[in-house]
Homo-oligomer: A and B are copies of this chain.
């Protein structure tokens, strides 16, 4: 999906303004690693992007549209990935253990990237309906596909309500990852846990949740 399809930005027509837009998006993600979106002034962003406030407002109707654009992009990407990664056919013949490990491991690794943006989006989901709607739509899609996957492998787990199991799995995995995005280096209890270790424990938790008697 290209930037032009999105409602949040006036599409650039010259290569120059396209480059400026890209710099603004990159600068924003970079600054979000350290600060909240609200803590970023439009000036800050434009300075970091080697651009100017006026240039910003020829692209975006207002400040928040920038964050909407970043969210919409990341959601569309994730949706496309989910369509491919969670397809039943793709996993036919493989065992549940490996499937869970692959999917949860992938999610954890993905989440490791762009932590700043994730943190901001988690915040928005709590209070802004437009952001929440997009996030919920994405989660509903993946949860639905995971439920189908669970149905197709019914003999390999011990859950009868696969819809509930899929929903809970999503809550567990994203809950822990969102939390990790909030607390960064040191976790919620002050302990350092590498992405790999966290990922491994998450895989373990997911497997256990599905397969324990």
Contact = CB atoms under 8 A, between A and B. Distances in A.
A154 B164 CA distance: 31
A182 B212 contact: no
Contacts of A208: 205, 208-209, 212
Given A132-B183, A171-B179, A175-B172, A164 B126 contact: no
Contact of A172 (B142, B197, B205): B205
Give chain A's interface residue range (CB within 8 Å of chain B).
Answer: 35 or more
A142 B189 CA distance: 9
Interface string A142-175: 1100000000000000000001100110111011
A113 interface: no
How many copies the complex holds: the figure is 2
A69 interface: no
A95 interface: no
Interface string A176-211: 101111110011111101000110010011011101
- Most B CB contacts (10 A, CB to CB) among A35, A174, A189 go to A189
A170 B189 contact: yes
Per CB-CB distance, the 10 closest pairs between chain A and chain B, nearest first, are A175-B175, A208-B212, A126-B182, A139-B189, A208-B208, A175-B176, A175-B179, A212-B212, A143-B189, A136-B190
Given A142-B189, A205-B205, 17 more contacts: A38-B38, A122-B182, A136-B183, A136-B186, A136-B188, A137-B190, A140-B189, A143-B189, A163-B191, A167-B193, A172-B172, A172-B205, A204-B209, A205-B209, A208-B212, A211-B212, A212-B212
